[in-house]
Structure 1
Amino acid sequence: MRERGASRKKAGSRPEKTGGESNFVVQGSILAIASIVVRIIGIAYRIPMINIIGDEGMGYYGTAFNVYNIALLLSSYSLPLAVSKMVSVRLARKQYRNSVRILRAALVYATVVGALAAAVIWFGADFFAREVFFMPYAAFALKTLAPTVWIMAYLGVFRGYYQGQGTMVPTALSQVFEQIVNAIVSVAAGSWLFNQAIKVEILRGESGSGYSNSWGAAGGTIGTGAGAFTALVFLLLLFAAYQRTIRKKVRRDRSGSLESYGTITKILFFTVVPVVVSSAIYNVNSVLDNGLLAYNFKSLGMEEEFISQWGVYTGKYHLLINVPMAVSNALSSSLIPSVSRAVATGDRRMVKKKVAAAIRFSLLIAIPSAVGLTVLAGPVNNLLFSGDNDLAVQMTLYGSIAVVFYSVSTVTNAILQGIDRMRLPIVHALTALVLHLAAMEVMVLVFHMGIFSMVFANILFAVIMCFLNHRSIRKILGYRQEVKKTILLPAAASAVMGAAAVGVYKLIHLGIQSNAVCTLGAVAAAVAVYGVLLVKLGCLDEDELHQMPGGTRLLQMFRKLRLM
């Protein structure tokens, strides 16, 4: 439901000029930095997790999270976007009382849908594990995730409330605290439960049955709940400290507008539902892939191979490509309230400016990341993961381009949601989903491409989303994509960067037979070369550097090096 008057400019409706609201790229960058830190911590703790529970255990772990992610959409994924969008519009009109009412209504919504989603996971765990994914032992990890869904519902509301105020700092800090606790508890609980389950396997004479791997995976999901609870406590304490400021703003409210809770709940519902459906299609994509591939592998007599290969896909390949994609996810979180404020004040020129900045900033990170993962696929996987990584290396080599298309599709989804075209991402995602599934079936059954069917089919999904989203944005806003500074120059700089990374790796390897030293040296050289080329080719100017966190220091360094 589009809020009436969202696109009309009203007297006295200019947004407050606070530092947090003035530049969504800065706020997005703060969240992006936190997201990258979170991903790095995620890689750091997944390494011992994989070594403890193995690829089979990661298969159970990834399967449980596919179901969990779908349930989470109702209680967390949709709420930060919906709440931030609604709050930002009210604040643009200085309707402080209504912004508080939105928070209260959202908490009631979170209570209801959080409980419902938790119940579905708990009571449906055995059904999903046995009948959908043909992995009975995945039920243990699913049940331990059930309480986390409810916690994440409240967490999503508070994160959305702060994002709507134009600050990503609370969300960023809560994510870091959440992941630190998650990492510690996941490894500790996963290791302890794995070792205890091995004793049970020995007593039963069922060694190698997968029972211990599944309980190790359940330990990892316990860590997820512990981390979410820690983040919620942090945001609650922050909210309690912020109460006096909120009361002052409410007393200053002279808007003369007071929306009823019924109206707010109705708007919230019609704001949440399109975001839920659009996001659900993205996540249903993974669930359908998981179930469909499991069925196809079983029909081909390859059931055992699927569990371990799925573990490699979710535990290694997907983990790697998610690190650079964190930037686009962060930009999307800051973009929706920012664009909504511009729409609420009728500033069409500012909307276009934010769209261009978001797409460009996303590609400045995504393109070199894809190139880096391609040329260093082997060294990076062997640095992070022990054992046989041949399959993971091949997936990374062939599938790293997904970083570019998924990053752009994520940002363009946020753009459409921010300009109140909530249904378009749903239509686009459904179209992409159907074509994706058809392509995957052909690849796995006709061309016998195995797990790589999913790698390539998911790239196709993202490509279709990019095309459809961009077409709609161009039609609605009259937006024309700048190509030279956004695509061509970053691509050229990334190509040179990739060649430099390979060259440095081989050069160091001539003297030092250490993959860790060679890889880290190559990555450092790649970052330096790409940064210099961005400046020399004119991809970044002084004004853009000033807008980036740490950009002033970079500018000073570039000046000392006579690069600018």
Structure 2
Amino acid sequence: MTQKNNLLRNASFLMIAALISKVIGLLYKSPLSEIVGEIGIGYYGLAQNAYLILLMIASFSIPQAVSKVIAERLAFKEYKNAQKFFRGALIYTMILSGASALFCLFGAKYMIPSNQPGATLALQVLAPTIFLSGILGVYRGYFQAHSNMLPTSFSQIIEQILNAAVSIGAAWLFIHFFSDGTKEGIAKWGAAGGTVGTGAGVLIALLFMAAAYEVNRKQIARHVRADQTGKEDSYREIFRVLFLIVTPIIFSSFIYNINGYINGVMYSELAGRQGVNSEVVSTLYGEYSVYFLTIINIPLTLAGAAPTSMIPEVSALYAQHRRKAARRKIDEATQLSMFISIPAAVGLAVLAYPITRLLFPNTNGTAGTLLLIGAVTIIFNTNSNVSNGVLQGIGKANLPMWNAAIALVINVGLLVALLQLTSLGIYAVLVATIVYSIVICILNDISMKKYIHYKNPWGTAYLCPLLASIPMGVAAGGIYYLLELVTGSNLISLLFAIAIGGMIYLSFYTTIMTKLKAVEKRRRMEQRYKRERARERR
């Protein structure tokens, strides 16, 4: 396995895999919603949100944590320790994910809102998936520590392919064989069948990663035999390190992402107490959790490839006390992330309604409004993903945990106030989510400045893509509505609008970036000249 550090290469592998996976995810959500119905897709969304909470505890942060601790050992050529950490992480994760899976199986009813009991079965079906996901996370983290993103990338693609196929097939089979034919029965069993696909996808991805490990076993063994450091930690020390490093990262990700689950439960419970029909609650929450979140998660996942690739590299550089090199790597990750997230946010906001109508014909229009308002969260969430990765990479995983906790308290207080005092309904969830993402960005930025003396590259990373996105958004919107008026085709109009908008963005981005770099180069030359003159005067 190669250990060559190349952020752009590794991030590109993950981005391509993420794009393919998310497109597949988009394509199967529409036929799935047709099969299970509006109520069923709401149950599916509630079950997936609860599942993600347990997944965060069991395995969600395992790849990042494992890649961090192993990358640090590889940086000092401690190959024996790296291998022992891999085995220790497998044991650690099996225990953690096994406990989470058992809780999911027997405690599912406690995680589902009381007025949405039909989602409980769908969550229970996901219990084995939680256990398998933990093991899969360790394998992915191991390869990421070696700066080898190919196995992870391929496994994500085959995972999503099987997920899509099995979700649709199992949903139909469950309804056909187990449902009593009522609206509630179809929704309950359809949602449960839909979640079977998630487990099938994780299983095939795990088998692929295990096979990739076996292919590299001989090379791994050669590295272990060539270890000349003479340093080999005991398993007691390894488990201690894993606990101290992995646990804060797990809790950080848990708190960082739990707001989605809490928001869903609070919305369902409070809306129910205010007399809103449970079917209406389920339908509107499906618009938010399955339609809106599915769309914005595409650019978020693409932009998240940079932080994922960055963590092992920053960890290794920071462990070697190469702080300037670590900051340069963070600059690269930030710039790459914002290059994707800012135009994505602008484009999705401008074309919100046609995109949601195309991808989800069953939408009642709520998802389009949510996307129009909430596209901005892509930028804030991408920023906080980068800063979370940085703080985890430098061994400060407790900081994003506390920052997320503070933001969560603000999120909950605001959501309760909005649901109780206004008639915003599902839009109150969106407003609280936007505020939550902003607060985390601010707090994480303060933490980075304090502990790594990092300054955001505002010009190249933020200003450049923002300025390039403005003409892109204007052109894309104008082209779409003009073509839609002429052709009457939503699909054709969208394809042309996105293609031309993308070309305009790249053209403006290149021009603006060239000018910004010229200005920055001139500024550095002037500063160097002033320093030289000052030395001459002294």
Same fold (TM over 0.5): yes
Rounded Cα–Cα distance in structure 2 between residues aligned with 1:45 and 1:258: 48
Residue equivalent to 1:381:
356
Map 1:498-509; keep pairs closer than 5 Å.
Answer: 498-509=473-484
Rounded Cα–Cα distance in structure 1 between residues aligned with 2:389 and 2:312: 10
**Secondary structure class of the residue paired with 1:538:** helix
Rounded Cα–Cα distance in structure 2 between residues aligned with 1:302 and 1:527: 42
Change in CA separation of 1:290 and 1:540 when aligned onto 2, cut-off 3 Å: farther
Change in CA separation of 1:271 and 1:354 when aligned onto 2, cut-off 3 Å: same
The answer to whether the 8 Å contact 1:51/1:386 transfers is no
Q: CA RMSD in A?
A: 1.6
Change in CA separation of 1:541 and 1:242 when aligned onto 2, cut-off 3 Å: farther
Residue equivalent to 1:328:
303
Q: 1:134 aligns with which of 92, 98, 115?
A: 115
1:73 aligns with 2:94: no
Residue equivalent to 1:349:
324
The answer to whether the 8 Å contact 2:356/2:363 transfers is no
Residue equivalent to 1:62:
45
The answer to whether the 8 Å contact 1:24/1:334 transfers is yes
Rounded Cα–Cα distance in structure 2 between residues aligned with 1:258 and 1:388: 58
Measure how far apart 1:478 and its partner are.
Answer: 1.9
Segments of 5+ residues of structure 1 without an aligned counterpart are 1-17, 202-206, 543-564
CA deviation vs aligned residue, 1:272-295 (integer Å, no higher than 9, x gap): 111111111123212211221111
Residue equivalent to 2:376:
401
For 1:446, give the aligned amino acid: L
The answer to whether the 8 Å contact 1:133/1:290 transfers is no
1:46 aligns with 2:29: yes
**Secondary structure class of the residue paired with 2:232:** coil
Residue equivalent to 1:487:
462
CA deviation vs aligned residue, 1:90-141 (integer Å, no higher than 9, x gap): 1000011111101111111122112111110001123333xx4431111110
Residue equivalent to 1:194:
175
Residue equivalent to 2:14:
31
Change in CA separation of 1:388 and 1:414 when aligned onto 2, cut-off 3 Å: closer
What TM-score, normalized by structure 1, do the two folds share?
Answer: 0.89
Residue equivalent to 2:337:
362
The answer to whether the 8 Å contact 1:34/1:173 transfers is yes
The answer to whether the 8 Å contact 1:75/1:156 transfers is no
For 2:121, give the aligned amino acid: F
Rounded Cα–Cα distance in structure 2 between residues aligned with 1:227 and 1:295: 32
Change in CA separation of 1:152 and 1:539 when aligned onto 2, cut-off 3 Å: farther
Rounded Cα–Cα distance in structure 1 between residues aligned with 2:284 and 2:178: 23
Q: 1:241 aligns with which of 208, 212, 215?
A: 215
CA deviation vs aligned residue, 1:487-540 (integer Å, no higher than 9, x gap): 222111101000110121123224311111001111111111111111122269
Rounded Cα–Cα distance in structure 2 between residues aligned with 1:133 and 1:329: 34
Measure how far apart 1:332 and its partner are.
Answer: 2.0
Rounded Cα–Cα distance in structure 2 between residues aligned with 1:507 and 1:293: 39
Rounded Cα–Cα distance in structure 2 between residues aligned with 1:127 and 1:475: 40
Residue equivalent to 2:94:
111
Residue equivalent to 2:530:
none
Rounded Cα–Cα distance in structure 2 between residues aligned with 1:101 and 1:540: 50
For 1:476, give the aligned amino acid: Y
For 2:385, give the aligned amino acid: T
Map 1:456-495; keep pairs closer than 5 Å.
Answer: 456-495=431-470
CA deviation vs aligned residue, 1:143-170 (integer Å, no higher than 9, x gap): 1100101111110110011011111111
For 2:91, give the aligned amino acid: V
The answer to whether the 8 Å contact 1:154/1:232 transfers is yes
Measure how far apart 1:460 and its partner are.
Answer: 0.6
Residue equivalent to 1:554:
none
The answer to which structure has the higher helix fraction is 2
Q: 1:162 aligns with which of 123, 127, 143?
A: 143
Q: Number of paired residues?
A: 516
Q: 1:86 aligns with which of 33, 57, 69?
A: 69
Rounded Cα–Cα distance in structure 1 between residues aligned with 2:515 and 2:234: 47
For 2:174, give the aligned amino acid: L
Residue equivalent to 2:251:
277
Rounded Cα–Cα distance in structure 1 between residues aligned with 2:190 and 2:516: 50
Measure how far apart 1:306 and its partner are.
Answer: 1.0
Rounded Cα–Cα distance in structure 1 between residues aligned with 2:24 and 2:143: 24
The answer to whether the 8 Å contact 2:287/2:363 transfers is no
For 1:328, give the aligned amino acid: A
Rounded Cα–Cα distance in structure 2 between residues aligned with 1:88 and 1:223: 33
1:227 aligns with 2:201: yes
Rounded Cα–Cα distance in structure 2 between residues aligned with 1:408 and 1:388: 30
The answer to whether the 8 Å contact 2:57/2:251 transfers is no
Measure how far apart 1:441 and its partner are.
Answer: 1.3
The answer to whether the 8 Å contact 1:534/1:540 transfers is no
1:371 aligns with 2:350: no
Rounded Cα–Cα distance in structure 1 between residues aligned with 2:139 and 2:2: 20
Rounded Cα–Cα distance in structure 2 between residues aligned with 1:251 and 1:278: 36
Rounded Cα–Cα distance in structure 2 between residues aligned with 1:74 and 1:325: 21
Rounded Cα–Cα distance in structure 2 between residues aligned with 1:286 and 1:377: 21
Change in CA separation of 1:20 and 1:248 when aligned onto 2, cut-off 3 Å: closer
Residue equivalent to 1:178:
159
1:21 aligns with 2:8: no
For 1:311, give the aligned amino acid: G
Residue equivalent to 2:366:
391
CA deviation vs aligned residue, 1:65-95 (integer Å, no higher than 9, x gap): 1221121123211211111001100100001
Rounded Cα–Cα distance in structure 2 between residues aligned with 1:56 and 1:411: 36
Rounded Cα–Cα distance in structure 1 between residues aligned with 2:202 and 2:5: 30
For 2:306, give the aligned amino acid: L
1:523 aligns with 2:494: no
The answer to whether the 8 Å contact 2:459/2:516 transfers is no
Measure how far apart 1:328 and its partner are.
Answer: 3.0
Q: 1:339 aligns with which of 310, 314, 323?
A: 314
Change in CA separation of 1:122 and 1:539 when aligned onto 2, cut-off 3 Å: farther
The answer to whether the 8 Å contact 2:147/2:309 transfers is yes
The answer to whether the 8 Å contact 1:535/1:541 transfers is no
The answer to whether the 8 Å contact 1:294/1:303 transfers is no
Residue equivalent to 2:522:
none
Segments of 5+ residues of structure 2 without an aligned counterpart are 518-538
Residue equivalent to 2:83:
100
Could you list the structure 1 runs, at least 4 aligned residues long, displaced by more than 4 angstroms after superposition.
Answer: 539-542
Change in CA separation of 1:292 and 1:435 when aligned onto 2, cut-off 3 Å: same
Change in CA separation of 1:280 and 1:51 when aligned onto 2, cut-off 3 Å: same
For 1:70, give the aligned amino acid: I
Rounded Cα–Cα distance in structure 2 between residues aligned with 1:19 and 1:302: 57
CA deviation vs aligned residue, 1:289-339 (integer Å, no higher than 9, x gap): 122111110111014221111111111000010000012322222111110
The answer to whether the 8 Å contact 1:133/1:291 transfers is no
